[in-house]
Structure 1
Amino acid sequence: MRELTVKSETLHRLASQRADQHDAHLTSLSAIFVAGGVARQDLLLEVAATIKRFYPRITSVNVVPYDPSQPVIETQPGLSAQTKERVVELARRSTGALQIGQMPDLPNHYLLVKRTPNSDAAQHGLALVIDARALIETDDPFWNAPSASLRLSTPDGQTALVGHFSSGETGFSKPLGSVSQPLMFETSLAIGLSDLLPLGKVMSVIALVMVVFLLSAFGFKQRLRTKDAESRAKLSAQETRLAHASRVNAMGEMASGMAHELAQPLTAILSQAQAGRHLARRGDVERLGTVLEDTVSQAQRAANILERLRRWSKPNRALSEACSVHEAAQNVQNLLALEAKIKGAAITLSLHSDPLFIDADPVELEQVVFNLVRNALDASDAAQVTIRTHVDGRLVILDISDTGPGVPDHLKPRIFEPFVTGKPDGTGLGLALCQRLVEEMGGEIMLLDETDQTTFRVSLPLSNKSEAQ
């Protein structure tokens, strides 16, 4: 039962965070519709398409007028008359708060409705159709066991949106921690004899009893001491392995928590920035359009990095393309310019005269350069960091050097191993990630010896595009 509670709390927290993201979507979409109206529905549909792409649990975005003679805006045509009536009913019922209701003709889905504009003068209902199954989707194999089940119901707990329970089960019950969508989240575990007495544990106990009996029968004190020492050595090795596994799990929890914490503000940044960009194009504030373009670009980049974080342990990777090594270096210089200025440091580029391209994922290449430069800045408050490129035969050579104190000798042989770090608050994953990404690009990364400055060298195969320059 303790394992069920822990797993349920984790999934409940994840589903609550996902539900909270819907509020930001509706706020952004409502602002766009109020500004552009039906005449500029293309603005709303473009932002809605972006939201659906990044959050596939939102199956459609719809704007339904109170007046049936007025046009309906739909991202996925085919909204039934009964559903349209339900959207208008929920919108009219609203006094400012979001309204939730079950889909009349689509199982496992529910409606989240906002009146627009959000006042007594509202004439439309803005509705998200949400797949309840995707809201509680998880990769944890615990929920694939036949004995485990979960259910998500309407706030009154009377109607199940997804899942079911069998009689005689015990479990966990708690509404989602979302003010607008307090759906009832319930889990259960059917406990059987195999759960109480797993065959493997029974056999282990029997084997242990037999070993103890045989050792007692010998009765030789010295032999018992030897066996006891061996047992202690095995336990110590096992404790070491468990400690390592705990650190790996802790890092997984940290990465998952960071992704979920960043997801909601990134959603609001992406939606509001796109809305601002479109509205600025229609007005006189041209500088606002430029600022919003930069905001959208950075939000998209952050979303790509988070996606790769989630796919860390999965074999599938993004398709490679010919990407510029110099562009990656310049982007990193721009991203870390403010941090370098605060620390009294400097980032200098010394790039090859010709453009250099490699075949890789541009975000992964930029991530490698970013991690190496960031490490160099952390090494010393006034570090002078230099990014150099040159060509050696069929290889692009990328060197990142700094004037910091250097890598301690005892760490050099293990510098690319996970959890090995010389920083008091470091995770020891940055260089391990760099090595993995570089090797997947077909290249090599190393720490150069006998150099005046601390220098990490990345060697990557030259793309055919560079040869054609």
Structure 2
Amino acid sequence: MKRKRHSVLVLLAGLATAIFFSVLVAAFNYRTGLDDLNISLSAAGTRLGEKLAQHEAHLTALAAVVRMGEQEQTDSVRGLAEAIASFYPRITEIATIHVEGASAVMTRYDQPNDRVEEQNSAELPVLTTPGSTVVRSQTGDVQHYEIYKLVAPGLYLLMKIDAGGLVADGLVPHDYGYQLWSEETQLINRPLRASTLLTATRDLDVKSASQPFRLEMSRGFRTTELLPPFVVLPLLLLLAAAFYLLVAFRRAVRAEQLQERRAALLEQETKLAHAGRVNALGEMASGIAHELAQPVAALLSQSQAARRAIVIERRDILEQALDANVREAKRAGDILGRMRAYIAGGASQLETVPLERALTETMLLAEPDLARRGIAVDTVIASGDRLLRIDTIAFQQVFHNILRNAAEALAGQDDPQISIRAEASGNQAMLTITDNGPGISAAALPHIFEPFFTTKPEGMGLGLPLCARLIEKMDGSMEAVNVGGARIIVRLPLETA
């Protein structure tokens, strides 16, 4: 496991180094691409500025020729316009516009035959200073724009230019995207021709007195451009190796954890087996101590009575004492026999007993101790003639234990009381024993039937678990609740007619 962990750490360190180197290579290539973009943008801006300057020179030359005579339609203007249109195809129209009031007459010179058109002078831009120019994009046709130059009052010179021709001669690299703007109007938009991982965009204002344009240029970066194969392939191999080692390491860790869990489970099973043996021994000792206390005390009392009968020569009292001793000895033998059967896992010795009789006999055993402690007992038995099928000795053992716990909880309590209620509910008898003591804490309540759990300083935590198991062997159940004091509820099946 240590060797695998060391190998994983070494490989991860190598992978981190490879990733760092790849990032450096990608950053260098990206920076190089940005430099190329800036160089291309600067060269394109310079070339575009030269073309815009040509437009200004053409306008100046045409304006000079137009001002030479009173009539615009001269052979000189026509010849110069035809020459310009022939050498510069992007200039698609050259015309003069003569304004007379609300109307204007436009004469085109870019074709062999002049063409005269009339238009509304309100559609012309307002220019007041001779020599001034204005650029206006054509409505509905953003690929073209128009330059108006005021030659003289009421006389305009018009040049219409195809904006696409400004970049038609390789001004921008073929794999770049670009946009050309005239103020807020987009004249050209050519997006990148291929999908890329990253895109960088730069813009440049082209300086021109008559044509204030902005050129934006975009360049894409493909994955193979940022991370060449000689970088990607080793990185992929390292990633694959790292993934393989991580999977193997995780499997090894899981196997080790599984072994640890199995070892812990085996240890827990051993502890549980030991606890089971201790629990059985404790239950046996507790049951014997509980049940034999009454017969032994009765034997001692009757033996003392027999001795007094001998002294006073009362044969009748002596016979009664000896008969009682015989009964209690048999009772002690029955208790030991039933405990032996319980430890050996034998079946309970069930018998049919009326509900009232079962409780009455049980109370005869417990009343002397309760009276000695000054505890008042209120017993109510309903449907006392209904028959229980119980192990009488075990039944008495359970209730003797419950009553003793209640008596101990009432120690030092003002006006200690125990209430016993027995009633039939369907095919079950429900017996409740309630005391007016402090009750069971909320933290302890869910655990009181667990072996070895106790709230008493001197307790072993075996009494109530033993009682619960004895009741279960009679097909019954036990539960505990708080009702101010503690209440134990025992449910046992009733014999059906």
TM-score, scaled to structure 2: 0.41
- Computing the radius of gyration from Cα coordinates, the structure with the larger value is 2
TM-score, scaled to structure 1: 0.43
